Amino acid sequence: MSRQQFGFLAGFLVVAVWAAAGLRVAALAVLAGLVGWIVVRVLDGAPASTGLGDRAVRRR
* pLDDT, tens digit (0-9, with 9 covering 90-100), for 8-56: 999 999 999 999 999 999 999 999 989 988 888 888 886 666 666 666 6
Tell me, what's the pLDDT at 20? 94
Does the pTM surpass 0.95? The reply is: no
Number of domains in the chain: 1
Tell me, what's the pLDDT at 57? 63
Tell me, what's the pLDDT at 42? 83
Where b means 16+ CB within 10 Å and e means fewer, 10-24 reads eeeeeeebbeeeeee
Report which DSSP code applies to 59. P
Give the angle 1-54-27 at the CA atoms, nearest 5°: 60
Q: Which domain holds residue 33?
A: 3-56
